[in-house]
Amino acid sequence: GAVVSQHPSWVICKSGTSVKIECRSLDFQATTIFWYRQFPKQSLMLMATSNEGSKATYEQGVEKDKFLINHASLTLSTLTVTSAHPEDSSFYICSALPGQYTGELFFGEGSRLTVL
């Protein structure tokens, strides 16, 4: 199956710093990438939809200036958490949609962010 890689797997940062998370599709071109956030013992909540070469579409309640998404190529999307605070500590997961869509989305391994 298709492989989606996220980096870093985990990161700890100080409050006020910015953190960038990468999502790469290793063996296919991803026309669309979805970014999810998961708080402890909760389900995945969609944050934004990113189409290659276009501005991301954010879900209601998600601050676009805080969570910057870049999807400059068909194999890479990045999520930058700007001026991170402890309440941003969460598990961030990306999901990639292949250009030749078969109905299945492919998920990265997730990135755990802890803001001190």
What does the angle CA 20 – CA 97 – CA 103 come to, to the nearest 5 degrees?
Answer: 150
Write out the two tokens for 13: 């940062």
Q: Least distance from C-beta 84 to other proteins, angstroms?
A: 20
Binding status of residue 107 toward other proteins by CB under 8 A: yes
Contact present, 2 and 23 (Cβ < 8 Å)? no
The residue (of 28 and 34) whose beta carbon lies closer to other proteins is 34
Binding status of residue 62 toward other proteins by CB under 8 A: no
Q: Least distance from C-beta 102 to other proteins, angstroms?
A: 9
Distances (CA, A) of 79 to 1, 72, 91: 24, 12, 12
Residue span binding other proteins (CB under 8 A) among the ranges 22-30, 69-77, 80-88, 106-114: 106-114
Binding status of residue 6 toward other proteins by CB under 8 A: yes
Total residue count of the chain as it appears in this document: 116
Provide the 10 A C-beta neighbour count for residue 31.
18
Binding status of residue 100 toward other proteins by CB under 8 A: no
The residue (of 5 and 82) whose beta carbon lies closer to other proteins is 5
